[in-house]
């Protein structure tokens, strides 16, 4: 989460607003115009219900303070603009305090189809709607609280849990995770393609499954209900992480990158 970014964060003005250019708003319009038909077809019902509550604009980039007012009324959450990539400690602290960190820039036209790091489109479209859902919002806060209790050696294991739920989770074989919701190519393939493996959600399996950020995921974990995420908050997750460490990671289902 703290590697170097290719983008420069947008800074808020004296009134707390971020000034986006006409070209940046047009990029948002293009992204929304092509993504929403896919979202309506492949996103889970819980996400679609949440999206309806938030009513995101289709033609311009919304301001974080505007979204925060809506989220705060629904679940007590807020959205805070941050640099493109932040460290684990900052990330966990923000989630624990019901602040979702949103990268403030929007991708360039050259990277319209795929971006390795999160931008404002991914953050707002992928993440913020489900923060109106109290079960999902509680789980997201639990991740932050877990990170605050953990030591640094456990951070990557918590990130793996976050990855296979909040970012790339499926719910009843429809897309739940923000990484899927905001992806032009992976959203459809995560639901329809015969290539990836889809497994029932199992905490130990999730913790032991390696992943890469720069490919379509070869394996997805499928939740039956958001109540499963709430149940995780009642478990000894740090103990589970230590058990997973002893067992070790599964062999990756993808080619290893060369350094």
Q: pLDDT category, 3, cuts 50, 70, 90?
A: low
Q: List pLDDT tens digits, range 173-219.
A: 999 999 999 999 999 999 999 999 999 999 999 999 999 999 999 99
Q: Dihedrals φ, ψ of 57, to 5°?
A: -70, 145
Does 174 map to a domain? yes
pLDDT at 99 over 80: yes
- pLDDT reported for residue 115: 87
111 is catalytic: no
Q: What is the pLDDT of residue 94?
A: 98
Average of per-residue pLDDT values in the chain? 95
Numbered residues of the known binding site: 122, 127, 167
Residue 159 in this model has a pLDDT that exceeds 50: yes
Q: What is the pLDDT of residue 85?
A: 78
* Contacts made by residues 249-256, CB under 8 angstroms, sequence distance 24+: 249/208, 249/209, 249/210, 250/205, 250/208, 250/209, 250/210, 252/210, 252/212, 253/197, 253/218, 253/219, 254/212, 254/215, 254/218
pTM equals: 0.95
Residues 6+ away with beta carbon under 8 Å from 16: 63, 65
What are the backbone angles phi and psi of residue 169, rounded to the nearest 5°?
-80, 155
The catalytic position among 167, 183, 186, 190 is 167
Any domain includes 252 = no
Residue 45 is assigned to a structural domain of this protein: yes
- Options 122, 123, 183, 186, the catalytic residue: 122
Instruction: Report strand pairing: 170-171 vs 219-223.
Output: parallel
Q: Note if 250 is an active site residue.
A: no
pLDDT > 70: percent of the chain: 97
pLDDT, tens digit, for every residue of 66-97?
A: 999 999 999 999 999 997 679 999 999 999 99
Q: Are 17 and 63 in contact (CB under 8 A)?
A: yes
In this predicted structure, what is the pLDDT of residue 259?
43
Q: Is residue 258 domain-resident?
A: no
State the binding site for Fe cation.
122, 127, 167
pLDDT for position 194: 97
Q: What is the pLDDT of residue 5?
A: 75
Candidates 24, 68, 123, 127; catalytic one: 127
Please report, for the domain that includes residue 164, its CATH number.
1.10.800.10
pLDDT score of 255: 86
Is 13 a domain residue?
Answer: no
Instruction: Establish whether 122 is a catalytic residue.
Output: yes
Our count of domains for the chain comes to 1
Establish if 259 belongs to a structural domain.
Answer: no
**Cβ neighbourhood burial of 151 (10 Å; 0-12, 13-18, 19+):** exposed
Distance CA 194, CA 145 (A): 36
* 101: in domain: yes
- Answer yes or no: 216 catalytic: no
Lowest mean pLDDT among 12-21, 40-49, 157-166, 223-232: 12-21
Give the position of tokens 């590697």. 3
Using DSSP, state whether 44 is helix, strand or coil. coil
Q: Give how far the C-alpha of residue 82 lies from the chain's centroid of Cα atoms, to the nearest Å.
A: 15
Q: What's the full length of the chain, in residues?
A: 259
Q: Is the pLDDT of residue 257 over 70?
A: no
Domain range enclosing 232: 22-247
Residue bearing tokens 């050259």: 110
Q: For residue range 50-72, what is the model confidence (pLDDT) as tens digits?
A: 999 998 999 999 999 999 999 99
Query: Does residue 255 fall inside a structural domain?
Result: no
């Amino acid at each position: 989460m703290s590697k170097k970014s290719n983008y420069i964060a947008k800074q808020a003005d004296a009134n707390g607003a971020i000034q986006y250019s006409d070209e940046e708003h047009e990029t948002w319009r293009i992204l929304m115009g092509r993504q929403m038909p896919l979202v309506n077809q492949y996103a889970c019902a819980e996400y679609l219900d949440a999206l309806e509550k938030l009513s995101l604009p289709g033609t311009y980039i919304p301001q974080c303070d505007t979204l925060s007012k809506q989220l705060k009324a629904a679940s007590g959450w807020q959205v805070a603009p941050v640099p493109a990539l932040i460290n684990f400690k900052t990330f966990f602290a923000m989630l624990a305090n019901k602040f979702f960190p949103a990268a403030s820039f929007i991708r360039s036209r050259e990277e319209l189809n795929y971006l390795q790091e999160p931008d404002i489109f991914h953050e707002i479209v992928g993440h913020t709607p489900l923060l109106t859902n109290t079960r999902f919002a509680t789980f997201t806060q639990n991740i932050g609280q877990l990170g605050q209790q953990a030591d640094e050696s456990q951070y990557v294991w918590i990130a793996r849990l976050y990855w296979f739920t909040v970012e790339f989770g499926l719910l009843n074989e429809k897309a739940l995770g923000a990484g899927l919701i905001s992806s032009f190519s992976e959203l459809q393939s995560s639901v329809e393609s015969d290539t990836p493996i889809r497994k029932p959600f199992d905490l130990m399996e999730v913790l032991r499954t390696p992943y890469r950020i720069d490919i379509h995921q070869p394996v997805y974990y499928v939740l039956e209900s958001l109540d499963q995420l709430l149940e995780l908050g009642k478990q000894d997750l740090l103990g589970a992480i230590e058990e997973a460490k002893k067992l070790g990671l599964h062999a990756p289902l993808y080619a290893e990158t060369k350094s």
